[in-house]
Amino acid sequence: MNIQEYFELVWTDYTLRTITLGTAVLGAICGMLGSFAVLRKQSLLGDAISHAALPGIALAFLITGTKDSGILLLGALVSGLVGTFWIRGITSKTHLKSDTALGLILSIFFGFGMLLLTFIQKQPNANQAGLDKYLFGQAATLVESDVQLMIIVTGISLFVMLLFWKEFKILLFDADYTKTLGFNTKFIDVLITFLIVLAIVLGLQTVGVVLMSAILLAPAAAARQWTNSLGTMVLLAAVFGAFSGVFGTAISASQNNLSTGPVIVLVAGTFVLFSFIFSPKRGLLFREIRFRKNRTNLKLMKTLQFMYVIAQDHENISHPHAIRILNNFQGYTKGSLKKLENEGWIATHGQQWAMTPKGFKQAEEMYNQKTVNE
Amino acid sequence: MDNQKLAVQIDDLTVAYNYKPVLWDIDLSVPEGVLMAIVGPNGAGKSTLIKTILGIIKPIAGSVSIYGKPYSKQRKMVAYVPQKGSVDWDFPTTALDVVMMGTYGSLGWIKRPGQKEKKIALESMEKVGMLAFKNRQISQLSGGQQQRVFLARALAQDAAIYLMDEPFQGVDATTEIAIINILKELRKAGKTVVVVHHDLQTVPEYFDWVTFLNVKKIATGPVKEIFNDDNLTKTYGINYKVAVNK
């Protein structure tokens, strides 16, 4: 199957449609809520939460004996939340910094989860096979009920986000100030964190514990490059996330069933790379172009300034001078003379140049920042 | 000053970070309508004092009252201007949006700001001379402009008391004059303004009331009466000589 066939099949093939819809919805909710994680500078929190969810999955299986994804994800949710509150506890009650707390919880919970997984695998129960898919995820195991759950959770998250948009925004920008306005900042904070945990848990089956934080952060990091508005950023991140899900699934399905989770993450990574280079305001490419343009401009102004000094000595500022006298000056080329003429700052006649009143004024006011800027 | 109401009253306030006292047994009364500077060396607890008044930091002991009632009941009467460096100015939003946040308190939960709130925000921006920059992305503002945006946000709260944490830090002379003129206008309108201040030279010129703080309260009162070398020496620990222009 090639990509084209995939996009034809996706409308008719039930399994393919379910998986594609699932990864798209997952990408959207992760992009949306990941924006908040990125803006709160809590990028690593997602990584810690997803790893902290692993023992919950194993324990849920040990207790219930079923592999029903709903029950396992409930276990993941509980253990993810416990991890999150321990991280908060460690940072607020001890001298440890948050990166230490995140690292501790991440590795301890993950270690415990791996221990439980190997313990489960040693058991004679034939039902145990396949729990390790939560490590790297397996989109192919998504069934309709999983996708329905994703859609419901995404809908609820969207509703809560729109309802508390103002509160989320002000808390992200200035938490102390929010408190002085009388808002219960703890409640807003817990609400945002809870939604992020929910999104992560939802993605464990598809992308897995290890790569989950990438799908949370990459769309948001890419979206930040294109906009200076929070609303647009969240929307763009959701769109990037959804596209990563769809393209990732398409590529993995059409290329010999490559593992879907890593492919989705790589597609999202491509969005980030593209955005870092090509976004008009913050991108590296346009920054370099702007830098070069500024440098050329500056050179031009230097030449103009030099001409200004010469022209100042004459009563008539537009008195013509030989181009040759500019020879000792490095900032001048035929090109720059042409540009100066195009700006209407000088006029050239054969081997001579003369300053125009407009150019004289421009040079005079060069150091007056106000007029240059406006 | 005898029959004047007390805007802020602090009793027996003690604050500690990890057993180390930052503020020790502070009693402080701020009369209504003064423009007061809080001065003291680094680590004297000036910012902590303001944050404790605002309930951001919990004290170990003591109480704060605003016009005779606990702060928690009088929140809307107090506006806060935090230090400029306390937020990330690369946050994706515009200057107008930030100023509009000043109206969120009176809006309460969930309700969105509308035309009325926008009008208030625009008026506040005009007062600080930032109207031309209303749609500017906040990372594109200079330090002085960012400070003015914070000031406008507090003005949009239309409070009776303004608590400001180093509003003159890192701003140029033009902005400093613009800000102090706004503060003096607030005082003229009967508001109470408390400012954490670092530049001792300008205290007599800008303020009419001063509090010397160094973990303990050293002195508080009218600048004309208590801003002298004796109190400065007690506060800063070194022999201080300042030319006070009376």
Does residue A171 share a domain with residue A294?
no
Strand B216-222 relative to strand B209-214, pairing = antiparallel
* B14 exposure class (CB count in 10 Å sphere: 0-12, 13-18, 19+): middle
Between the two ends of chain A, the Cα-to-Cα distance in Å is 58
ipTM value: 0.94
Does residue A299 share a domain with residue A154?
no
Q: Is the pLDDT of residue B93 over 90?
A: yes
Does residue A305 share a domain with residue A259?
no
Taking the C-alpha atoms of residue A9 and residue A3, their distance in angstroms, rounded to an integer, is 10
- Tens digits of per-residue pLDDT, B15-69? 998 778 999 999 999 999 999 999 999 989 999 999 999 999 999 999 999 999 9
Q: Is the pLDDT of residue B154 over 90?
A: yes
Res A372: pLDDT: 38
Chain B residues with beta carbon closer than 8 angstroms to that of A179: 54-56
* Structural domains counted in chain A: 2
Task: Quote the tokens at residue A147.
Answer: 């996708």
Residue B104 to residue A230, Cβ atoms within 8 A = no
Longest dimension (CA), chain B: 56
Residue B56 to residue A233, Cβ atoms within 8 A = no
Taking the C-alpha atoms of residue B186 and residue A294, their distance in angstroms, rounded to an integer, is 43
Most confident of A127-141, A280-294, A353-367, B1-15: A280-294
- Number of CB atoms found within 10 A of residue B89's CB: 17
Q: Is the pLDDT of residue B246 over 70?
A: no
Does residue A261 share a domain with residue A231?
yes
Does residue A293 share a domain with residue A266?
no
Does residue A117 share a domain with residue A88?
yes
Write out the residue range of the structural domain in which residue A316 sits.
285-373
Last residue of a domain, one of A262, A279, A296: A279
Does residue A307 share a domain with residue A225?
no
Provide the percentage of residues in chain A whose pLDDT is more than 90: 57
- Tens digits of per-residue pLDDT, A90-125? 998 888 988 999 999 999 999 999 999 999 888 876
* A276 exposure class (CB count in 10 Å sphere: 0-12, 13-18, 19+): middle
- Tens digits of per-residue pLDDT, A260-288? 999 999 999 999 999 999 998 888 999 89
Q: Which residue of A has its CA nearest to B72?
A: A182
Which residue, chain included where needed, has tokens 């491509």? A270
Q: Is the pLDDT of residue B172 over 60?
A: yes
Residue A180 to residue B80, Cβ atoms within 8 A = yes
Res A328: pLDDT: 62
Give the closest-approach CA distance of B81 to chain A in angstroms: 8
Residue A39 to residue B78, Cβ atoms within 8 A = no
Does residue A30 share a domain with residue A162?
yes
Q: Between A69-93 and A185-203, two packed helices, what is the crossing angle to 10 degrees? A: 140
Q: Is the pLDDT of residue B167 over 60?
A: yes
Taken as a whole, chain B contains a residue count of 246
Chain B residues with beta carbon closer than 8 angstroms to that of A163: 110
Does residue A158 share a domain with residue A215?
yes
Chain B residues with beta carbon closer than 8 angstroms to that of A233: 92
Q: Is A40 on the interface with B (CB under 8 A)?
A: no
Chain A residues with beta carbon closer than 8 angstroms to that of B93: 169, 173, 228-230
Q: Is the pLDDT of residue A374 over 60?
A: no
Give the closest-approach CA distance of A235 to chain B in angstroms: 13
Chain B residues with beta carbon closer than 8 angstroms to that of A177: 80, 82, 101, 153
Mean pLDDT (whole number) for A198-217: 93
Give the closest-approach CA distance of B228 to chain A in angstroms: 34
Does residue A59 share a domain with residue A117?
yes
Last residue of a domain, one of A222, A244, A279: A279
CATH number of the domain to which A334 belongs: 1.10.10
CATH number of the domain to which A229 belongs: 1.10.3470.10
- Tens digits of per-residue pLDDT, B189-234? 999 999 999 999 999 999 999 999 999 999 999 999 999 989 999 9
Q: Is the pLDDT of residue A373 over 50?
A: no
Does residue A363 share a domain with residue A245?
no
Last residue of a domain, one of A279, A295, A323: A279
Q: What is the CA radius of gyration of chain B?
A: 18
Does residue A293 share a domain with residue A178?
no
Q: Which of A166, A174, A230 sits opposite B92 (nearest CB)?
A: A230
Chain A residues with beta carbon closer than 8 angstroms to that of B101: 170, 173-174, 177, 181
Residue A174 to residue B137, Cβ atoms within 8 A = no
Q: Is A373 on the interface with B (CB under 8 A)?
A: no
